[in-house]
Amino acid sequence: MTDANPADPLVIGDHKLSSRLIIGTGGAANLEVLERALVASGTELTTVAMRRADLGAGSGVLDLVRRLGITVLPNTAGCRTAAEAVLTAELAREALETDLVKLEVHADDRTLLPDPTETVDAAAQLVEAGFTVLAYTNDDPVTALRLEEAGCAAVMPLGSPIGTGLGIRNPHNIELIVSRAGVPVILDAGIGTASDAAQAMELGCSAVLLSTAVTRAQDPERMASAMSAAVTAGRLAREAGRIPKRFWAQASSPPR
C-alpha cells in the first residue's frame, strides 16, 4: 500500500505522477537495500546525483531505478556555481534523454545550503535551454518567488539542512511559500521521520523529497512504507481542513 493516487496526480511541467513521495538514492548500504526501499515507498520519481553517478555501462543505481520503471530525476548536487550546474544538467540531458533536472547549487560543504543567487541564475539559463527545472532552495519566500518567476516547474524549499534529520525548522516560511506559489512546492531535505513528512503535506506542500531518513534508517524498507503512509495522511489532513487553534478550552460536547 503506497501513497500513489492516480485521481490526484502531482503535475510538474508536462510530467504527471501518482505518487507524491520522491526518493533520493544517496546513503543506502547497498543496491538490494535501496531496491526494497524504493519499492516500499511507491515512488515514481527518484533523484540521482549526476556528478557522483557513473553514467557508463553497469551504473548500478541508474540501472536499478530504470529496471523498477521509476523516472530518473538527475540532480546537480556538488555544483558550486551556476556555470557548473548548467553544464552538469546538459550532460545529464544528453546521457539520460530527459528534460527534468533537480537544480542544486550548494554554497559550501559544511552546511550544504543552497546559494540563492547562483541558483536563480542557473534556473533562468536552464529554463531558457528547455529544461523542466525543480529548484532546491532555502526556506525563503522571496527566493522561492524569484525561482518561480525564472520559470521553474517546482520549487523545493528545505525543511532543514541535508542529512540533519532536523525536520521543518521554519513551518511558517513553508506556509508563506505555499500561499504564493503557482507551481508545486516540494519539501526537500531535512526530513527525519514520518511525522515530518506528514507535517510538510499538512502545511500545503504538493510533495516531499527525502533521502537520508530512509536510506540510513535501521530498516530502510519499513521507513519507506512509513513515509508513504505519512504523505498520504498529511495530504488527506490538509484537504480535510484542520480545526483552528484556540487559546482557551472549548468543551467538545455542548453543555445541557
Ligand X SMILES: CC(=O)[C@@H](O)[C@H](O)COP(=O)(O)O
User: Least separation, in Å, of the C-beta of 253 and ligand X?
Assistant: 43
Q: Residues 63-102: x/- map of binding to ligand X (CB under 6 A)?
A: --------------x-------------------------
d(CA 232, CA 5): 9
Catalytic residue among 15, 20, 93, 102: 102
User: Per-residue string for binding with ligand X, 29-58, x by CB under 6 A?
Assistant: ------------------------------
Q: Closest distance between ligand X and the C-beta of residue 113, in Å?
A: 10
Window contacting ligand X (CB under 6 A); options: 50-58, 147-155, 189-197, 226-234: 189-197
How big is the site for ligand X, counted in residues (CB under 6 A)?
16
102 included as an active-site residue? yes
Give the up-direction half-sphere exposure of residue 143: CA atoms within 13 A in the CB hemisphere.
21
Strand partners, 207: 186
- Using the rule CB under 6 A, is 157 a contact of ligand X? no
Report, in Å, the least distance between residue 80 CB and ligand X: 14
Residue nearest to ligand X (CB): 212
Of 28, 43, 1, 7, nearest in space to 207 by CA: 43
* Rounded Cα gap, residues 250 and 243, in angstroms: 12
Q: Cell numbers of 35, please?
A: 531496491
CB-nearer residue toward ligand X: 110 or 256 = 110
**Residue type at 235 in one-letter notation:** R
Residue 174 and residue 168 in contact, taking contact as beta carbons nearer than 8 Å: yes
Strands of 151-246 (E only): list them: 154-157, 186-188, 207-210
Question: Residue 189 interacts with ligand X (CB under 6 A)?
Answer: yes
163 annotated ligand-binding residue:
yes
CB of 189 vs ligand X, minimal distance in Å = 4
Instruction: Give SS3 for 144.
Output: helix
- Write phi, then psi, for 108 (nearest 5 degrees): -160, 170
130 marked as binding residue: no
One-character DSSP codes across 64-100: HHHHTTPEEEEE-TT--SHHHHHHHHHHHHHHH---E
Spatial contact of 234 and 207, defined as CB atoms under 8 Å apart = no
Identify which of residues 141 and 192 has a Cβ nearer to ligand X in the complex: 192
To the question of whether residue 189 is assigned a binding role by annotation, the answer is yes
Q: Which of 139, 188, 196, 221 binds ligand X (CB under 6 A)?
A: 188
163 touches ligand X by CB under 6 A: yes
Would you count residue 162 as binding ligand X (CB under 6 A)?
yes
CB of 26 to ligand X, least distance (A): 6
Positive or negative, the CA dihedral 214, 215, 221, 224 is: positive
Q: Kindly calculate the radius of gyration of the chain based on its CA atoms and give it in whole angstroms.
A: 18
Binding segment (CB under 6 A) for ligand X, from list 5-13, 57-65, 183-191, 198-206? 183-191
- Active site (catalytic) residues: 102
Residues that bind ligand X (CB under 6 A): 24, 26, 77, 104, 136, 162-163, 188-191, 209-213
